[in-house]
Structures are given as C-alpha cells and as structure tokens.
Structure 1
Amino acid sequence: MKSIFKQWVPEWLIKLILFSCLMPSMVLFFLPGANVEVTAGYYGSQPSDVQFLIILFYAGFVGFYILERRFFLFFPVKQYYIIFNLLQILNCYLMYRITDITWVYGLRFIQGMLFASAVNLSISMIFSRLNSERAKEVSYSIFFGMLLCSSPFNSFVTAEFIDSFNFDELYLYAALAFLPGLLLVFISMTSIRHVKPYPLFSLDWPSCIFFSGLIIAFGYMMVYGQEVYWFWDAHMQLALGIGIAFLVCFVLRQMTLKRVYIKISIFSNRRFLLGLLILYMMYIERFSLSVSNQYFLQVLKVDPIHLSYMQWFNMLGIIIGVLCAMYWILAHRSVKWIWILGYCFLLTFHQIMFFSFESKGNDYYFWIPLCLHGIGVGLIMVPTILFTIASVKPHFAVSAAAICLAARYFGYTCSIGLQNFFKLFESNQHQQIFQDYLQRNNVILQTYFDKEATKLLENGLQFREQATAVKLVTERVKNQSFVRYAMDYYELMSFISICILIIIFLSPTLKNMYKKLKQNIVSPA
C-alpha cells in the first residue's frame, strides 16, 4: 500500500492527507446538533427534527457500510478518494443552498453513506502505515478515538462560527474543508491498483434498502415517539409497521441468499452477544453527557461558546482512556478488567453529577466529572469492538463489524428515546407536583413573592413587580423540574452501570474470550 504515494512524499505528509480526508466528514456528523436552537430556527423546524437529521447521517453510515466494501474493492484508491470527496463537496453545497428540511433529510442520509466510504478507506490506509503486529489495535484506536472526540470537537469548532456567521455558511465552509485533502490526493497519490478489481455486478441493493429502512424507522420512533404518545399516533403505527416489514424481508432474504449481506448465524454466539451488550449500553451512557450539557445551558446559563470550551475536558478524558486501552491491549491485559475500570469511571461520573445537580452553581466545578466520563468511554470503546469482532470466526468478521456499528446506532437512538421520555414525561410530572404547592393561600409562597417584588423595586423596576416576580418563580420551577429530570435519568444510568458491572464480574468465559482476541484475525472497520 505504501507505493500508492509518490516517492517524494514524506511520512508526516501522508498522515496529514489521511486525516484531512477524514476529519471534515467527522465534523459533518454532529454539525446540526452543535446548536440545536439555531439549526431548528434556520430550517423552521422543531428540536426533534434536528435530532432526526443526526440519526439519518448515522443510518446512512450503518446501512451502506457493507455494500460500500464492494465499491472500495472496485476503485483504485486515488480515484476513490477523489470521487467521494467531490460528492461530499457537492452535497455540502446543496446543503448550503437548500432550506427545505424535507430535502435536507435525504442529503443527510447521503452524507452518511459517503462517510462510510471515508471511514473504510482512511482506516485501511492508516492500517497500512503501521507495523503488522499491532496495526489493527492502533488503527482502531486512532479512528475510534477521533470518532469519540468528533462531537465535543465539533461543538468547539462550530460554536463561534454559529455565533458569528449565518448557519447555512457552515456548510459552505465544510465544502471548502474538503479541498485541501482533495488537492493533496491529486498531487501525492498514484493510480496503482493493489488488488484485482471486483466487478460491480449483483450489488445487493435490496438488502441495503431493507436494513436502512429498518434502522431509520427505529430512529424515527425513538425521536418522535414520546412527544406524540407513541402508538396513539398514526405515524408511529406506520413507522412500526414499516420497520417490522423491513425486518422480516431482510431476515428472509438473508436466509435464502447464497452470498448474504449479514451472517445471521453470528447471533448464536454468546460471546459475541455479550460484547454487543457491553457496546450497546456504553453508547447509551456515552450520550448521557447531553443531559449535563443541557443542564449547563438551561440552568447554569452557560453560553454555547463557553460550553464548547468545557468539552475540552471530555476530549482530554477520551484521549487518556483510548491511549490507556490501547496500551493494555498491546500488553495483553485482560479485557474484563478494562471493561470494569471503564464502567467504574462512568458510574462515578453519573454519581458525581447526580449529587451536583442544583438550581445554581459554577461551571468550573464540573471539569473532573467531564474528564471521568471521557476516560470511561475511551477505555470501553476499542477493546469492546475488537473483542466482539474477534469472538466470531474470521470469515464472519465483516458481518460482526457491521453488527457492532448497528449496536452503536441503536445505543445512540435509544439514548435519545430515553432522554425524550424523561424530559417530556418525568419533567412534566415533577413540574405538576411543584405547581400543586404554588397556591395563593400558601403563606410561604406569598412571602417569597413579596420578597422578590421588593428586590425588583430596589433594582430599578418601577411597575408590574408582582407579575415579574411570578415569572421568576415560574422560571425557577421549570429549572427545578429539569434538575429533577436530570437526577432521575442519571439514577437510571447509575443502575445500568451497576448491572453491567455485575454481569462482567459474573461472566466465567471472559479470559478465554480474550485469548480468542489475541489469536483471531480482526477485519478492518
């Protein structure tokens, strides 16, 4: 693979080319969620629609992942880099020009498909630069470390842009971000083929469509289910019916095809299922951080720019966790204790935040839990994926990698569904309880109103001080309801961490599974 670059290209420039081709695609991943209110306002939509935009990108990545390998094997590396970079530039330009969110939904799904191309090609190129004995572990650590950092890094990069420029201009700058990597590819790469091209016939588009339709239907239900009271709504019933139909069609197709899209038989492997459970639960806990971010914004009144600075502590934790996990994997440490340590960090994060949620506070107290969360996620991610893929036979590794990707998708979408449930149901329950005490005959409340009204008069308000005091109390009730919702959610996350730790402790075969990890050949992502 090294000869794909021209002789004059130094090693540092090769790495720069690889990262310059991958990073813009990663930034696009969570770009709509960098500032949900701004995105929703620009498209004239709801915050739930912004969540769905991120899910569609993820669904494109998951659904196209296996089919993309056929294109990866067909095109020479240089031409393939050029093709998907040009398509990404075109897609970003269309996102810049189009304001109708209905069309944006389709463009986001296509962005996810192109991201699958960038991932497969870039991680394979990173793998080719490393010593063969440790190439898989290091390349996976580099890629997944970047992927874990993409959300906080994206918030940091785009926060000031969103504050200083129109939202649509972000996609114009995103299109320009692909140009340096494209130019470097033109200059430094040759058009050499390393494998015989596999013709693009008999592409299994039906399986890709069935699988993509299934995961999109599930993501749709997780985003919009709670706000329309789930299956009381006709759209939810339709989404459920479509999801079940696609699932049945996909499974039946895999049972009848000679060359299947995904090997269904790998689900009979108990070690593989345990790895999926660990990965799925970790992704639910990973995105519990968004509740803390909402708390910083809504209750502590931290502006998005300063919130993006706080995310550096989470990124620092991720880097520490990934590096430690990579070191222990290369040193052949037991994956069982890496998992235990990672979930202990996540449990500690949720417990610290549970007791730190208050209606008032200072943002600089929270750098330690943010760092702990990053360390926990970084410790669990790479060992779990390597372990899960290595738990199956080598010729099932591609299917195992695809299922791991789907497990991460389902973990992310379920975290959105859980948060929407707690936010829309539990928060309203708490607010209703608080309002039951806010009666005019409540002497304590009336005394508080008088105190607030007097304070407003002393600070210069000359009229309607009582009405303003009522608004202040209403705002505080809303914040207190959010605090209670956040505490309930983190209590659930703590319970999940404890259950997973018990499962890991009681699993008798983890030592043997780690031996399998050392012996098996792990396929590229």
Structure 2
Amino acid sequence: MYNQGIFRTWVPKLVQLLLIIIFISVIVPVNGIYIGNVSAMVGSTGMPSEYFVWASYGSTIGMGAAMPIILRMKFRYKIRDKVTFIFILIAILSYLNGTTDRPLLIVANSVIIGYLKMIVMLEFIIPIMFMISPEGNRGKFYSVFYPFSIIVSQLAGYILAIVAFDYNWQFVHIVSAVICLALALLAWIFMHDKYGGFKMPLHYIDWLSILLFVAMFMLGAYVLAFGKQLYWIHSPRIINASIASFVSLILLVIRQYTLKRPYLSFKLFRKNNVIHGLIMLLFTGMFLSTGSIQNIFTVGILGYDPVVNASLNLLMIPGIVAAGVYMNFWFKQGRGLKMFIFLGFSAMLAYTVMMYFSMSLEFNFERWILPMLLKGFGMGALFIAVWYYTLDKIPMDEMLAGAGLVLVWRTFFTVGIFSALFSWLQYQFQIEAVGNLAIYMDGNSISYSQVMGNMKAIQFNAILAANKRLLGYICIAGIGVLMYILAYHFGVERYKIYRGIKVTSDRRKHKAKFKRTQLQEIEDAAGAVI
C-alpha cells in the first residue's frame, strides 16, 4: 500500500505543518563546513583556509550529484527508514568533522553530507510546494521558499558564529550532530513506514557517471580554491588537477551518449532560456563574489570579529523579504520577468557603487543598513527570477536530469570562479598600490623607524586602494549587465505585426503581378512590331 504523504494518519495537520517547518529549517543550513567558522578552524588546526573553502564547494557539488537520481531514491525506500537513516548518517559525519584535524576527511564528509541533504530535502519541499501553491505555480512557490531558505541560512550562520565564538568551532559540529539525531528520532516517531509510490529499482543508476560528475567538479573546485596559494599555472598540482577535471568531463559526456538511461541530459542546454539563464546566473555570481571584498574590508580594515561580521548578513533579511513579497505580487499580476530581473541587478549594482564610495578607514555600523538592504533585495530577486526563467517550461524528466549541472553552475562555479579571480586581482592591485605609495617615500627624508611605524597605515591604504579599484571594475561590468538585460527579449516578441499588414501585403503583391503582366504585354507588342 502506498502513501504519498510523509506523516502517519494520526498526526494532526497543525503538528504536521510544525514538523515540516522544523525539519526544513534544519536541513537547509546544515553543511559539512560553516563559512563563518573558517577563521577559527584555520587557527585551531593550522591548516590553510583553502581546504575549508574546498569543502564548502564540495557540499554544493554533492547536492548537484544527487539531483538526477532524486526521484528514484524517493520511491525506492520507505520514507521513515530513509529519513531516519540519513539524519543519523549526517550526525555521524558532522561529529567526525568536529573531532578530526584532517582537512581531507572534512572535504570528503562535506561532499557526502551535501549528497544526503539533497535527497532528504525533497521529501519536505514537495509538501511545502503544494501548501504554498496547490495549482503548481512555480513562481509563487519560489517567491516564498527561496527567501525562507536564504533567511534561515543567514540566521543559522549567525547563531553558529556565536556558538563558535563563545566555545569553539568543534562544538558547532557536535551541536549539529545532536540536532540531527533529535530529528532522526522525530522522523521515526511521526513518519509513516510505507512506500511513496511504485518501488523503483536502483540498478538503473549509473554510479560511474556520478563518480565522474563528482571528480570533475571537485578537481575544478581544487583549482579554484588553491589557485592563488599555488600560483595557478606555475604549480604542477594546478595543471594536473585541471587536466584531470577536463578528462573527467570528456569521459562523462561520452558515457552519457552510450547509456540507455543516461545519468545526465544535455538536451536542456539547447534551449534559449537555459543558455541565457546560465549567462545571467554567471552575472549573479559576479555580484555575489563581492562578499570576499566586503570580508577583506570588514575583517582586515574595520577589525570585525566573526560574530559582528556574521551579523551584517542579518541586515539583508528585510531586503530578501521585500523581494519575495514583491515577486509574489509580480507573478499574480502576470507580468514579465525582464524588469524584475533588471531591478535585481540594479540593486546589486547600487550595493557595489555604495561599497566603492565607502572604502575608508572609518565606517559606522549604521551605514551598512542601506547597502546590505539593497544586496538582500538583489540576491532574493535574482535567485527567484533567474532560476525561474532558466527552468521555465521544461519537462520534469529533463529538468531533473540537467538541474544538477545548473545547480552546481549557480552555487559553485560562478561564485567560485569570480571569487578566485577577485582574490587574485585584489592581491595584484594591493602590491601595485604599495609600490605607488612607496614613490612618496624618500630614504633621505624619512628614516627606517618612521617607515616601520607607519607600515600598518601604508598597508591599510594599499588594501583600500585595491578594493576600490576592483569594485570600480565591477561597477563598469554591472552597467554592461544592465544593458544586456534591457537588450534581451526574454521570450517576448519585440515587435508586434499590425493586423492589416497581410491585406496590405496581398494588395502590394497583386499590384506587382499586374505590373509584370502589363510589362510583358508591352514587351510582346514591341517584339511583334520590331
């Protein structure tokens, strides 16, 4: 007997709603690594921060690897057994991450946690989608779910930063493990022990394709995470990882065309909206990567601790909520996505411009309110509208087969490549700024002790000059992005044909035919006379 619900029949509806909110509020922010605790992990383990950035990318790659087989995993096992087992496994992996000092183990665990997280998340996303939009309107669902998930992630990051600051970073992972065990107990008590539908076999899953998928992106993530430290192509490790990632890509593509049931479908990327959606997601990643510049400014110049730095993300919440409410109203009115996406990119550009003019040695905390509000609105608007447009009017089978690649593109590749690029450019600009400042220092007029005494101020001004120059280039690129959005048609016919044009065209054709007939008669008559 099948049961497409997730809870037992004796559980009241309000309790079911409360349980769904509890489960989704935990499973969305849970990860193998928490970015707000990276500095504490680096100081405690003595390992480079690049390992933990790599682990953060691994969580997203694991989620993308689970997307193509997510429905098959849903109908293969009983929901109670599956959810309980996954939460127990996530708890074990979180405990290992909190008790080990080996970064490679943390990286591997993060990939597995991301993979398991996506499988269990689907069980709660489907009922939430039907509660928000019973008619199946994806736009209405996105306008509620995406702001909720972003806000939950920001709140969880702030709370975990407080826990790590008051205790230690290991305690954060242990707390996560305890919470996952508690959710496993709730799942065992309240969830039914029936299949959600026809039992689907697992032997159709091509596990080799999954391994190639993970290997390809994890090797690429290694290049992006360690590129600056190893000096890019001057390092044999970076070259070998790049070649191995490219070979994995070739093998993955070849294997998909030789399988009867391929793991991935590339038909998705022939559609016009998907291609332009990926381009807009790339632009979104460019603006989101400005967070690394902001982090250099807040930690390196202003001296914020991890808790204060994490509290800046809370200032984005009003903007995220406003984006969700406005987008919901926008979908109800049946308006096109063009101007809403334009508003989202405009908000991100305004945030970048304000950051450009805010690069100084003194900056009040209250002055963060408006730029972070704009950043929150832009992030919420672009996450909702661009993702909706990218996967619009695509069948479910094609969407799941290609959404894993789109998810990894949106969350890992775009942010990762621009973060690596900005980090390298900021370092180069900083060296150049120090050289420019050194021009005004004369060894005959300034002693060595005076230079050493002012070294901190010199370094701070070099960082500010580098940040400002980089933000200026991003602002120029942002103007180009807005011009691209205005020029693109978003699937709407740019010019509408006048109804009477067919009549006019037929009349013109008739006149041309009549004229040709007359000319032919004249030519015939002239020929006869000659």
Measured against the shorter chain, the TM-score band is: 0.7 to 0.9
CA contact (8 A) 2:224 2:416 kept: yes
- CA 1:28–1:193: 2 relative to 1, 3 Å: closer
Q: CA deviation at 1:492?
A: 2.9
CA contact (8 A) 2:51 2:104 kept: no
Distance in structure 1 (CA, Å) of the matches to 2:366 and 2:328: 30
Tell me, yes or no, if structure 1 residue 155 matches structure 2 residue 136.
no
Look up the equivalent residue of 1:427 and give its one-letter code.
Answer: Q
Partner residue in 1 for 2:342: 340
Look up the equivalent residue of 2:218 and give its one-letter code.
Answer: I
Tell me, yes or no, if structure 1 residue 117 matches structure 2 residue 98.
no
Tell me, yes or no, if structure 1 residue 426 matches structure 2 residue 429.
yes
Report the 3-state secondary structure (helix = DSSP H, G, I; strand = E; otherwise coil) of the residue aligned with 2:441.
Answer: coil
Distance in structure 2 (CA, Å) of the matches to 1:368 and 1:472: 36
Give runs of aligned pairs for residues 84-99 of structure 1, distance below 5 A: 84-99=86-101
Give runs of aligned pairs for residues 252-331 of structure 1, distance below 5 A: 252-331=254-333
Q: What whole-Å deviation, never above 9, does each CA across 1:300-324 have from its counterpart, x for those lacking one?
A: 2222222233321112212221232
CA contact (8 A) 1:335 1:510 kept: no
Tell me, yes or no, if structure 1 residue 504 matches structure 2 residue 507.
no
Q: CA deviation at 1:173?
A: 0.4
Partner residue in 2 for 1:374: 376
- CA 1:153–1:428: 2 relative to 1, 3 Å: farther
Q: What whole-Å deviation, never above 9, does each CA across 1:74-99 have from its counterpart, x for those lacking one?
A: 11222221121111111112122222
Q: CA deviation at 1:355?
A: 0.9
Q: CA RMSD in A?
A: 2.3
Tell me, yes or no, if structure 1 residue 228 matches structure 2 residue 230.
yes
Distance in structure 1 (CA, Å) of the matches to 2:112 and 2:99: 16
Distance in structure 1 (CA, Å) of the matches to 2:19 and 2:26: 12
Partner residue in 2 for 1:459: none
Partner residue in 2 for 1:43: 45
Distance in structure 1 (CA, Å) of the matches to 2:490 and 2:144: 28
Flag as ranges the 4+ runs of structure 1 deviating above 6 A: none
Partner residue in 1 for 2:418: 415
In terms of Rg, which structure is larger?
2
Look up the equivalent residue of 2:436 and give its one-letter code.
Answer: I
Q: CA deviation at 1:299?
A: 1.0
Distance in structure 1 (CA, Å) of the matches to 2:20 and 2:435: 54
Q: What whole-Å deviation, never above 9, does each CA across 1:489-516 have from its counterpart, x for those lacking one?
A: 3223223322222112111343269xxx
Distance in structure 2 (CA, Å) of the matches to 1:322 and 1:81: 29
Q: What whole-Å deviation, never above 9, does each CA across 1:287-307 have from its counterpart, x for those lacking one?
A: 312321331222122222222
Give runs of aligned pairs for residues 18-33 of structure 1, distance below 5 A: 18-29=20-31, 31-33=33-35
Look up the equivalent residue of 2:73 and give its one-letter code.
Answer: F
Report the 3-state secondary structure (helix = DSSP H, G, I; strand = E; otherwise coil) of the residue aligned with 2:257.
Answer: helix
CA contact (8 A) 1:40 1:46 kept: yes
CA contact (8 A) 2:151 2:317 kept: yes
Report the 3-state secondary structure (helix = DSSP H, G, I; strand = E; otherwise coil) of the residue aligned with 1:248.
Answer: helix
- CA 1:293–1:21: 2 relative to 1, 3 Å: same
Tell which deviates more after alignment, 58-67 or 272-281: 58-67
Distance in structure 2 (CA, Å) of the matches to 1:492 and 1:104: 36
Partner residue in 1 for 2:503: none
Distance in structure 1 (CA, Å) of the matches to 2:486 and 2:385: 17
Partner residue in 2 for 1:358: 360
Q: CA deviation at 1:150?
A: 5.2
CA contact (8 A) 1:84 1:118 kept: yes
CA contact (8 A) 1:222 1:414 kept: yes
Distance in structure 2 (CA, Å) of the matches to 1:294 and 1:14: 44
Partner residue in 1 for 2:528: none
Look up the equivalent residue of 1:482 and give its one-letter code.
Answer: I
CA contact (8 A) 2:41 2:169 kept: yes
Distance in structure 1 (CA, Å) of the matches to 2:89 and 2:127: 20
Instruction: Give % identity.
Output: 19
Q: What whole-Å deviation, never above 9, does each CA across 1:60-117 have from its counterpart, x for those lacking one?
A: 1122322343212211222221121111111112122222112222111111111211
Look up the equivalent residue of 2:440 and give its one-letter code.
Answer: Y
Partner residue in 2 for 1:523: none
CA contact (8 A) 2:52 2:107 kept: no
Partner residue in 2 for 1:521: none
Partner residue in 2 for 1:484: 465
Report the 3-state secondary structure (helix = DSSP H, G, I; strand = E; otherwise coil) of the residue aligned with 1:27.
Answer: coil
CA contact (8 A) 1:353 1:369 kept: yes
**In structure 1, which of residues 437, 442, 467 is the aligned counterpart of residue 440 of structure 2?**
437
Distance in structure 1 (CA, Å) of the matches to 2:196 and 2:4: 10
Tell me, yes or no, if structure 1 residue 169 matches structure 2 residue 171.
yes
Stretches of structure 2 that go unaligned for 5 or more consecutive residues are 495-530
Q: What whole-Å deviation, never above 9, does each CA across 1:21-71 have from its counterpart, x for those lacking one?
A: 233343333843203321112222112222112111122112232234321
CA contact (8 A) 2:143 2:324 kept: yes
Partner residue in 2 for 1:402: 404
Q: CA deviation at 1:471?
A: 4.5
Tell which deviates more after alignment, 377-386 or 343-352: 377-386
- CA 1:373–1:132: 2 relative to 1, 3 Å: same
CA contact (8 A) 1:21 1:178 kept: no
Look up the equivalent residue of 1:224 and give its one-letter code.
Answer: F
CA contact (8 A) 1:352 1:369 kept: yes
TM-score computed with the length of structure 1 as normaliser: 0.87
Distance in structure 1 (CA, Å) of the matches to 2:97 and 2:348: 37
- CA 1:56–1:9: 2 relative to 1, 3 Å: same
- CA 1:140–1:10: 2 relative to 1, 3 Å: farther
Tell me, yes or no, if structure 1 residue 102 matches structure 2 residue 101.
no
Tell me, yes or no, if structure 1 residue 14 matches structure 2 residue 16.
yes
CA contact (8 A) 2:63 2:404 kept: no
**In structure 1, which of residues 186, 191, 196 is the aligned counterpart of residue 193 of structure 2?**
191
Look up the equivalent residue of 1:507 and give its one-letter code.
Answer: Y
Q: CA deviation at 1:390?
A: 1.5
Distance in structure 1 (CA, Å) of the matches to 2:453 and 2:26: 43
Report the 3-state secondary structure (helix = DSSP H, G, I; strand = E; otherwise coil) of the residue aligned with 1:225.
Answer: helix
Give runs of aligned pairs for residues 67-86 of structure 1, distance below 5 A: 67-86=69-88
Distance in structure 2 (CA, Å) of the matches to 1:314 and 1:472: 39
CA contact (8 A) 2:338 2:490 kept: no
Distance in structure 2 (CA, Å) of the matches to 1:303 and 1:471: 26
- CA 1:66–1:492: 2 relative to 1, 3 Å: farther
- CA 1:86–1:37: 2 relative to 1, 3 Å: same
CA contact (8 A) 2:32 2:106 kept: no
Distance in structure 1 (CA, Å) of the matches to 2:396 and 2:170: 45
CA contact (8 A) 2:42 2:49 kept: yes
Distance in structure 2 (CA, Å) of the matches to 1:496 and 1:122: 39
CA contact (8 A) 1:325 1:379 kept: yes
CA contact (8 A) 1:296 1:302 kept: yes
Distance in structure 2 (CA, Å) of the matches to 1:149 and 1:29: 16
CA contact (8 A) 2:347 2:377 kept: yes
CA contact (8 A) 2:51 2:107 kept: no
Q: CA deviation at 1:393?
A: 4.6
Stretches of structure 1 that go unaligned for 5 or more consecutive residues are 450-465, 514-525
Distance in structure 1 (CA, Å) of the matches to 2:72 and 2:405: 18
